Amino acid sequence: GAVVSQHPSRVICKSGTSVKIECRSLDFQATTMFWYRQFPKKSLMLMATSNEGSKATYEQGVEKDKFLINHASLTLSTLTVTSAHPEDSSFYICSAREEYSNQPQHFGDGTRLSIL
Amino acid sequence: DAKTTQPTSMDCAEGRAANLPCNHSTISGNEYVYWYRQIHSQGPQYIIHGLKNNETNEMASLIITEDRKSSTLILPHATLRDTAVYYCIVRDDKIIFGKGTRLHILP
Protein backbone atom coordinates (compact mmCIF):
# COMPACT_ATOMS: atom_id res chain seq x y z
CA GLY A 1 0.00 0.00 0.00
CA ALA A 2 0.89 3.66 -0.21
CA VAL A 3 3.60 4.72 2.20
CA VAL A 4 4.57 8.11 3.50
CA SER A 5 7.88 8.41 5.26
CA GLN A 6 8.57 11.21 7.72
CA HIS A 7 11.98 12.06 9.14
CA PRO A 8 13.17 12.53 11.80
CA SER A 9 10.80 10.79 14.19
CA ARG A 10 12.03 12.77 17.15
CA VAL A 11 13.99 15.98 17.60
CA ILE A 12 15.22 17.64 20.77
CA CYS A 13 16.98 20.95 20.37
CA LYS A 14 17.72 24.26 22.00
CA SER A 15 15.55 27.34 21.77
CA GLY A 16 16.42 29.47 18.74
CA THR A 17 17.35 26.54 16.53
CA SER A 18 15.67 25.95 13.19
CA VAL A 19 14.45 22.43 12.58
CA LYS A 20 13.65 20.79 9.24
CA ILE A 21 11.23 17.89 8.91
CA GLU A 22 11.03 15.86 5.72
CA CYS A 23 8.00 14.10 4.28
CA ARG A 24 8.36 11.67 1.39
CA SER A 25 5.84 9.67 -0.58
CA LEU A 26 7.67 6.42 -1.25
CA ASP A 27 5.62 4.69 -3.92
CA PHE A 28 3.43 7.34 -5.45
CA GLN A 29 3.61 10.88 -6.71
CA ALA A 30 1.98 13.47 -4.51
CA THR A 31 1.10 16.78 -6.07
CA THR A 32 -0.40 17.79 -2.74
CA MET A 33 0.95 17.23 0.73
CA PHE A 34 -0.40 18.44 4.05
CA TRP A 35 1.17 19.39 7.36
CA TYR A 36 -0.61 18.93 10.67
CA ARG A 37 0.21 19.70 14.26
CA GLN A 38 -1.12 17.84 17.28
CA PHE A 39 -1.01 18.79 20.95
CA PRO A 40 -1.41 16.16 23.69
CA LYS A 41 -4.90 14.68 23.88
CA LYS A 42 -6.08 16.93 21.05
CA SER A 43 -7.01 16.22 17.48
CA LEU A 44 -4.79 16.97 14.50
CA MET A 45 -4.86 20.57 13.36
CA LEU A 46 -4.17 21.35 9.71
CA MET A 47 -1.38 23.90 9.36
CA ALA A 48 -0.90 24.16 5.62
CA THR A 49 -1.38 22.57 2.23
CA SER A 50 1.78 22.09 0.22
CA ASN A 51 1.55 22.13 -3.56
CA GLU A 52 4.39 20.90 -5.75
CA GLY A 53 6.07 23.77 -7.52
CA SER A 54 4.06 26.54 -5.91
CA LYS A 55 3.65 28.32 -2.61
CA ALA A 56 1.98 26.59 0.28
CA THR A 57 -1.47 27.60 1.45
CA TYR A 58 -1.55 28.25 5.17
CA GLU A 59 -4.53 27.89 7.48
CA GLN A 60 -5.72 30.89 9.43
CA GLY A 61 -3.53 31.66 12.41
CA VAL A 62 -0.47 29.76 11.15
CA GLU A 63 2.58 31.98 10.70
CA LYS A 64 4.07 31.37 7.27
CA ASP A 65 7.40 32.94 8.25
CA LYS A 66 7.60 30.66 11.25
CA PHE A 67 6.70 27.45 9.46
CA LEU A 68 8.43 27.38 6.08
CA ILE A 69 7.15 24.78 3.64
CA ASN A 70 8.89 23.68 0.49
CA HIS A 71 7.48 21.13 -1.97
CA ALA A 72 10.22 20.92 -4.54
CA SER A 73 9.33 17.56 -6.08
CA LEU A 74 6.39 15.19 -6.43
CA THR A 75 7.73 13.01 -3.64
CA LEU A 76 9.18 15.44 -1.10
CA SER A 77 7.86 18.24 1.07
CA THR A 78 9.75 19.85 3.95
CA LEU A 79 8.58 21.83 6.95
CA THR A 80 11.12 24.08 8.64
CA VAL A 81 10.30 25.45 12.07
CA THR A 82 12.39 28.61 12.21
CA SER A 83 13.88 29.93 15.43
CA ALA A 84 11.98 27.37 17.43
CA HIS A 85 10.83 28.13 20.96
CA PRO A 86 9.35 25.90 23.67
CA GLU A 87 5.81 26.72 22.58
CA ASP A 88 6.60 25.16 19.19
CA SER A 89 7.09 21.80 20.89
CA SER A 90 4.47 19.50 19.42
CA PHE A 91 3.79 16.42 17.30
CA TYR A 92 4.04 17.32 13.60
CA ILE A 93 2.48 15.00 11.03
CA CYS A 94 2.55 15.13 7.26
CA SER A 95 0.31 13.45 4.75
CA ALA A 96 0.25 13.00 1.01
CA ARG A 97 -2.48 12.32 -1.45
CA GLU A 98 -2.29 10.35 -4.66
CA GLU A 99 -3.12 12.04 -7.90
CA TYR A 100 -6.80 11.13 -8.20
CA SER A 101 -9.07 13.08 -5.91
CA ASN A 102 -10.94 10.16 -4.35
CA GLN A 103 -7.81 8.34 -3.30
CA PRO A 104 -7.13 8.47 0.44
CA GLN A 105 -4.52 10.62 2.08
CA HIS A 106 -1.75 8.65 3.68
CA PHE A 107 0.03 9.88 6.78
CA GLY A 108 3.57 9.74 8.03
CA ASP A 109 4.36 8.49 11.52
CA GLY A 110 4.94 12.00 12.81
CA THR A 111 7.82 13.97 14.28
CA ARG A 112 7.90 14.75 17.95
CA LEU A 113 9.63 18.10 18.38
CA SER A 114 10.84 19.16 21.80
CA ILE A 115 12.39 22.59 22.24
CA LEU A 116 14.34 23.11 25.44
CA ASP B 1 -14.83 22.75 10.72
CA ALA B 2 -15.27 19.01 10.61
CA LYS B 3 -18.40 17.93 8.79
CA THR B 4 -19.04 14.86 10.91
CA THR B 5 -20.37 14.00 14.35
CA GLN B 6 -19.13 11.00 16.31
CA PRO B 7 -19.57 9.76 19.87
CA THR B 8 -16.73 10.80 22.12
CA SER B 9 -15.93 7.30 23.30
CA MET B 10 -17.05 3.68 23.07
CA ASP B 11 -16.19 0.39 24.70
CA CYS B 12 -16.17 -3.00 23.02
CA ALA B 13 -15.32 -6.44 24.35
CA GLU B 14 -12.39 -8.20 22.77
CA GLY B 15 -13.52 -10.59 20.04
CA ARG B 16 -16.82 -8.84 19.49
CA ALA B 17 -17.73 -6.61 16.59
CA ALA B 18 -17.11 -2.90 17.15
CA ASN B 19 -19.66 -0.67 15.44
CA LEU B 20 -18.66 2.97 15.24
CA PRO B 21 -21.33 5.41 14.06
CA CYS B 22 -20.86 8.69 12.26
CA ASN B 23 -23.32 11.37 11.21
CA HIS B 24 -22.59 13.49 8.15
CA SER B 25 -25.94 15.05 7.35
CA THR B 26 -24.48 17.86 5.21
CA ILE B 27 -22.52 15.58 2.91
CA SER B 28 -22.74 16.55 -0.75
CA GLY B 29 -23.24 14.21 -3.66
CA ASN B 30 -19.64 13.80 -4.73
CA GLU B 31 -18.01 13.67 -1.29
CA TYR B 32 -16.55 10.41 -0.04
CA VAL B 33 -16.61 9.16 3.53
CA TYR B 34 -13.20 8.14 4.87
CA TRP B 35 -12.28 6.43 8.10
CA TYR B 36 -8.90 6.71 9.78
CA ARG B 37 -7.63 5.71 13.17
CA GLN B 38 -4.80 6.98 15.30
CA ILE B 39 -3.05 4.76 17.75
CA HIS B 40 -1.25 6.63 20.49
CA SER B 41 1.81 8.59 19.31
CA GLN B 42 1.50 7.42 15.71
CA GLY B 43 0.28 9.04 12.52
CA PRO B 44 -3.30 8.36 11.40
CA GLN B 45 -3.84 5.07 9.60
CA TYR B 46 -6.21 4.83 6.66
CA ILE B 47 -8.92 2.19 7.14
CA ILE B 48 -11.55 2.41 4.43
CA HIS B 49 -13.56 4.81 2.31
CA GLY B 50 -16.75 4.81 0.27
CA LEU B 51 -19.15 6.95 -1.70
CA LYS B 52 -22.56 5.28 -1.46
CA ASN B 53 -22.10 1.53 -1.67
CA ASN B 54 -21.06 -0.55 1.32
CA GLU B 55 -17.39 -1.42 1.29
CA THR B 56 -15.30 -4.15 2.87
CA ASN B 57 -11.58 -4.71 3.08
CA GLU B 58 -9.21 -6.73 5.22
CA MET B 59 -9.51 -4.28 8.10
CA ALA B 60 -13.16 -3.32 8.28
CA SER B 61 -16.55 -2.85 6.67
CA LEU B 62 -18.21 0.46 5.93
CA ILE B 63 -21.97 0.70 5.86
CA ILE B 64 -23.39 3.91 4.36
CA THR B 65 -27.10 4.68 4.67
CA GLU B 66 -29.09 5.14 1.50
CA ASP B 67 -29.48 8.88 2.10
CA ARG B 68 -25.73 9.05 2.84
CA LYS B 69 -26.32 11.10 5.96
CA SER B 70 -24.67 8.58 8.23
CA SER B 71 -22.33 5.62 8.17
CA THR B 72 -21.02 2.88 10.43
CA LEU B 73 -17.54 1.45 10.58
CA ILE B 74 -17.50 -2.19 11.62
CA LEU B 75 -14.44 -3.94 13.01
CA PRO B 76 -15.69 -7.53 12.87
CA HIS B 77 -13.55 -9.09 15.60
CA ALA B 78 -12.01 -6.41 17.77
CA THR B 79 -8.64 -7.02 19.39
CA LEU B 80 -6.72 -5.04 21.98
CA ARG B 81 -4.62 -3.58 19.17
CA ASP B 82 -7.72 -1.88 17.80
CA THR B 83 -7.74 0.51 20.76
CA ALA B 84 -7.38 3.91 19.10
CA VAL B 85 -9.13 7.15 18.20
CA TYR B 86 -11.27 6.61 15.11
CA TYR B 87 -11.97 9.51 12.78
CA CYS B 88 -14.83 9.69 10.30
CA ILE B 89 -13.98 12.21 7.59
CA VAL B 90 -16.01 13.74 4.80
CA ARG B 91 -13.30 15.14 2.67
CA ASP B 92 -13.37 18.22 0.60
CA ASP B 93 -9.99 19.04 -0.88
CA LYS B 94 -8.29 18.60 2.49
CA ILE B 95 -8.91 16.60 5.65
CA ILE B 96 -10.13 18.50 8.68
CA PHE B 97 -10.14 16.29 11.75
CA GLY B 98 -12.90 16.39 14.33
CA LYS B 99 -12.51 14.89 17.78
CA GLY B 100 -13.17 11.31 16.70
CA THR B 101 -14.30 8.37 18.81
CA ARG B 102 -11.95 6.93 21.39
CA LEU B 103 -12.51 3.17 21.17
CA HIS B 104 -11.51 1.07 24.15
CA ILE B 105 -11.28 -2.68 23.61
CA LEU B 106 -11.87 -4.47 26.87
CA PRO B 107 -10.13 -7.78 27.56
Buried b (16+ CB within 10 A) or exposed e, B13-32: eeeeebebebbbeebeeebb
Percentage of chain A lying above the pLDDT 70 cut: 96
CA distances from B74 to A89, B35, B40 (A): 36, 11, 21
| pLDDT tier for residue A7 given thresholds of 50, 70 and 90 | very high
Percentage of chain A lying above the pLDDT 90 cut: 75
Q: How far is B16 from chain A (nearest CA, A)?
A: 27
Query: Helix (H, G, I), strand (E, B), or coil: what is residue B9?
Result: strand
Which amino acid is residue A35, in one-letter code?
W
pLDDT tens-digit profile of B48-88? 999 999 999 999 999 999 999 999 999 999 999 999 999 99
Mutate to test the interface with B, among A106, A107, A113 (most CBs of B within 10 A): A107
| pLDDT tier for residue B2 given thresholds of 50, 70 and 90 | low
Q: Which of B20, B83, B87 is nearest to A38 (CA)?
A: B87
pLDDT beyond 80 at A85: yes
Can you give the pLDDT at residue A93? Answer: 97
For chain B, say whether A78 makes contact (Cβ under 8 Å): no
Q: How far is A83 from chain B (nearest CA, A)?
A: 25
Contacts of A42 (CB under 8 A, 6+ apart): none
CB contacts, 8 Å: A91 with chain B: 41
Contacts of B38 (CB under 8 A, 6+ apart): A44, B44, B45, B84, B85, B87, B100
| pLDDT tier for residue A100 given thresholds of 50, 70 and 90 | low
